[in-house]
Amino acid sequence: MAAVVPSWAAVADVVDYLGLAATDATDAAYLARVTDAANAWAFRRRQQAGYIDEATVVPGPDVALGVTMAAGAWYRRRGAPDGFAGWADMGANEAWTPGGIADVHRLLGISRPLAV
């Protein structure tokens, strides 16, 4: 059985979230990879949390934003040995600060009990 890869966030959403200008082919390919990875990760994590979602229908704007934020964070970590690449030293604990992983989890509705 082939893995389900949802389409809850698109590369254009991630580019808009990051505020990027046009990218070269290498960046475009990497943006596509992190977007696909974030979509698959969010879908899998929501399944593990007990949600029954359709791969082609985003459960809501909160989930779409969570996927976009995760993809954006993974893109920004590219080439950074620890955390985000940036203009100032950032400690390891600040890696997810501007839209932290806790925000992504809340938006996706995971890491909390599911009312049944």
Sequence spans of domains, the chain? 11-108
Q: Structure pTM?
A: 0.77
pLDDT category at 1 given cuts 50, 70, 90 is low
* Range 74-84 average pLDDT: 73
Q: How high is the pLDDT of residue 62?
A: 95
Average pLDDT over every residue of 1-24: 85
- In this structure, what are the phi and psi dihedrals at residue 43, rounded to the nearest 5 degrees? -60, -45
Q: What is the maximum span of the chain, computed from C-alpha positions, in angstroms?
A: 47
The dihedral region occupied by 50, where left means phi > 0, alpha psi between -120 and 50, and beta the remainder, is left
pLDDT per residue as tens digits for the range 28-70: 999 999 999 999 999 999 999 999 999 999 999 999 999 999 9
